[in-house]
Structure 1
Amino acid sequence: MVRRKFNIIYSNTQKELNISANNLQSTNCNLNPKAIKRLLAQSVDLKGETVVIKLSADIINDDAQLANFAENVYLLTILGINVIIIHDYIQAIDSTLQLLGLSEDLKYKNNITSYRTTQIIEMVLVGHINPKIVSSLCNVGCMAMGISGKSANLIEAKKSGISYSNEETKSKSVIDLQFSTSPAMVNPEILISLEDANLVTVISPVSIGPNNSTCLLDVNITSSVIAASMTAKCLVFLTDFKQNIQFQDHSLSQFKKSYENNQNSCIDQSIVQATDGALNNYVERVRIINSAIPDALIEGLFNNTDNIIEVKL
């Protein structure tokens, strides 16, 4: 485990991190001593800062990947980095909805048209997926707490402006996303309190909407809004690219242009919108990382290697 491998001591006067060679033992993190030294040097810039992470369903659904992710988060916390996680749900709840015969409600990805389906999804997100992530984090030594967008009125939602044409019937009708929404306002007090207590916060993208309704949030946009509200140093999107790409370092305008020209087919529109929103609201940088690579969070946050896209304003 990471805590067995790393014996890190902070020097308040010199702001240095020392590591004991005797603790360089086998771990779930595939980092060699050279990579560790580079990590320690690079992490000084993030010490005491907030990093917001969008956790993909690909990692949640794979126990080995989730355990590795938890090890990576633990390493960030002992480096003095504040971590907030917003977890995905679309793929993660498919099996549950299929079991209940409700999979048709996700035909258009974010199309949640039934109040009954919304209730079930909230139950799965808050009662199963969130605790699963929290348990994985606590198992490696993290102090973690799970909340939802409803907790302490963390997130208030508005009706989504996104819609999808019905391609199956080839009609011009548009599917109305009745229960799928976008965050309108974030009340970060609870996040600040949890951060002050050195807790890793895991957020389920569920919130209160108009007329006290339960709403499901776009996880990418939610991650962006949370990052902006906490003035995060970095916003990380962990997502499966389904292909290998070379390292890309873009300005925001270059990144948006590459998406418009279909040069980044592995990135969806909501990530582009979320990146735009974060960088224009005081988040310093955004890193989009292929979740399939080993130690994706650590490698993607600190290294400029393949399968990583960095975007700055």
Structure 2
Amino acid sequence: MSDTDLPGGPPEIARTLIEALPFMRRYQGAVMVIKYGGHAMGDETVARDFARDVVLLKQVGINPVVVHGGGPQIKAMLGRLKIESSFVDGLRVTDAATVEVVEMVLAGKINKEIVTAIQTAGGKAIGICGKDGGLIEAVKLKRTKRDPDSLIEEAVDLGFVGDPQRINTSLLDTLRGTDFIPVIAPIGVGADGQTYNINADTAAGAIAGALRARKLMMLTDVRGVMDATRNFVATLTDTRARAWIADGTISGGMIPKIETCLGAVERGVDAAVILDGRVPHAILLELFTEHGFGTQILRG
């Protein structure tokens, strides 16, 4: 971070570092799971800042674990290969041809780009997917929808879309004692060896819960959660979050993200945070400032 990154020059930088110090001490040795994706991943400058921030976390004694998505890149590759795909409730229907492309793009191109960015920023990273070390054991995800005429619940076949059933943390536990930052592509494997495409938010929540992470940070394209009057909410209990989903205050694409956060908190994560990954150094603002940056969800 240069002098021009902060108004006020060196004095302001000094005050920022002083403010950050107690938080660095507080999170010493803690595991932070970061879900990375969306527009933050596609913007070159923001992606570079993200890599630098993750390296800084590792250098001050925090253990970041990055779980990434790649929806736009998958869409682009499917289009290039002329493979059609559709969505149900935000989940990509994944047939045999599509799952091959998903694995190629997520575990290959995107994963290694993130690894390279982190290493270019001065860190050490190792790219893996849920197949490696049996990290993410998955089963076929089951979904139903209600027929509008008969009101009968019908099963929806999403193909090879998976639901994490078990997170084997042994590989991540080993990496925790090293200089390497894990970068995880959300590809799972079934008991029969079948490859499954797993939603990155879902994978990040499951991994954070299994690791008993101090925080799960969900980088999104919005500032955080808004209340019924569209005002930003800095802290939200799990009880209130569920009530807001029920009454419609939380709606649309925010619902599955909140549900992921709730699941992680239930599994023992201290806090789950939704924050705008498009803002430079959003992770540092969340962790190292008094009031944080996103919406923090806690057990009530």
Instruction: Indicate the TM-score class for this superposition, using the shorter chain for normalisation.
Output: 0.7 to 0.9
Partner of 2:285, secondary structure, is helix
Write the distance in 2 (CA, Å) between the matches of 1:304 and 1:253.
Answer: 24
Partner of 1:255, secondary structure, is helix
Deviation at 1:32?
3.3
Are residue 148 (structure 1) and residue 150 (structure 2) matched? no
Normalised to the residue count of structure 1, the TM-score between the two structures is: 0.83
Q: Which residue of 1 aligns with 2:249?
A: 263
User: Which amino acid letter does the alignment assign opposite residue 95 of structure 1?
Assistant: A
Q: Is the 8 A contact 1:163 1:177 kept in 2?
A: no
Are residue 309 (structure 1) and residue 295 (structure 2) matched? yes
Write the distance in 1 (CA, Å) between the matches of 2:124 and 2:147.
Answer: 45
User: Which amino acid letter does the alignment assign opposite residue 53 of structure 2?
Assistant: N
1:219 aligned residue (171, 187, 200): 200
Q: Which residue of 1 aligns with 2:240?
A: 254
Q: Is the 8 A contact 1:144 1:202 kept in 2?
A: yes
Distance 1:266 1:173, change over 3 A: closer
Q: Which residue of 1 aligns with 2:100?
A: 119
Q: Deviations over 1:142-171 (max 9, x none)?
A: 11100000001111001213356799xxx9
Q: Which residue of 2 aligns with 1:190?
A: 171
Q: Which moved more, 1:75-84 or 1:246-255?
A: 246-255
Deviation at 1:91?
2.6
2:286 aligned residue (271, 291, 300): 300
Partner of 2:279, secondary structure, is coil
Tell me, which stretches of 5 or more residues in structure 2 are unaligned? none
Q: Deviations over 1:236-294 (max 9, x none)?
A: 11111178852421111112222333323475332222212211121111111111222
Write the distance in 1 (CA, Å) between the matches of 2:267 and 2:295.
Answer: 19
Q: Is the 8 A contact 1:50 1:82 kept in 2?
A: yes
Q: Which residue of 2 aligns with 1:15?
A: none
Q: Which moved more, 1:286-295 or 1:149-158?
A: 286-295
Write the distance in 2 (CA, Å) between the matches of 1:166 and 1:140.
Answer: 51
Q: Is the 8 A contact 1:246 1:306 kept in 2?
A: no
User: Which amino acid letter does the alignment assign opposite residue 310 of structure 1?
Assistant: Q
Distance 1:309 1:217, change over 3 A: same
Q: Is the 8 A contact 2:262 2:297 kept in 1?
A: no
Write the distance in 2 (CA, Å) between the matches of 1:166 and 1:300.
Answer: 43
Q: How does 1:265-304 map to 2 (within 5 A)?
A: 265=251, 268-303=254-289
Q: Is the 8 A contact 1:105 1:117 kept in 2?
A: no
Write the distance in 1 (CA, Å) between the matches of 2:52 and 2:153.
Answer: 48
Q: Which residue of 1 aligns with 2:64?
A: 83
Write the distance in 2 (CA, Å) between the matches of 1:77 and 1:305.
Answer: 22
Q: Which residue of 2 aligns with 1:136?
A: 117
Distance 1:32 1:164, change over 3 A: farther
Normalised to the residue count of structure 2, the TM-score between the two structures is: 0.86
* Aligned alpha-carbon RMSD (Å): 2.7
Are residue 240 (structure 1) and residue 226 (structure 2) matched? no
Deviation at 1:219?
1.4
Q: Which residue of 1 aligns with 2:74?
A: 93
The percent identity for this pair of structures is 24
Q: Is the 8 A contact 2:162 2:196 kept in 1?
A: yes
Partner of 1:117, secondary structure, is helix
User: Which amino acid letter does the alignment assign opposite residue 200 of structure 2?
Assistant: V
Deviation at 1:108?
5.7
Write the distance in 2 (CA, Å) between the matches of 1:172 and 1:34.
Answer: 58
Partner of 1:289, secondary structure, is strand
User: Which amino acid letter does the alignment assign opposite residue 263 of structure 1?
Assistant: T
User: Which amino acid letter does the alignment assign opposite residue 220 of structure 2?
Assistant: T
User: Which amino acid letter does the alignment assign opposite residue 309 of structure 1?
Assistant: T
Q: Is the 8 A contact 2:51 2:121 kept in 1?
A: yes
User: Size of the alignment, in residue pairs?
Assistant: 287
Q: How does 1:52-67 map to 2 (within 5 A)?
A: 52-67=33-48
Q: Is the 8 A contact 1:158 1:184 kept in 2?
A: yes
Q: Which residue of 2 aligns with 1:5?
A: none
Distance 1:116 1:261, change over 3 A: same
Q: Deviations over 1:97-131 (max 9, x none)?
A: 11112243447642323101100110011110000
Write the distance in 1 (CA, Å) between the matches of 2:86 and 2:191.
Answer: 21
Are residue 102 (structure 1) and residue 88 (structure 2) matched? no
Q: Is the 8 A contact 2:126 2:183 kept in 1?
A: yes
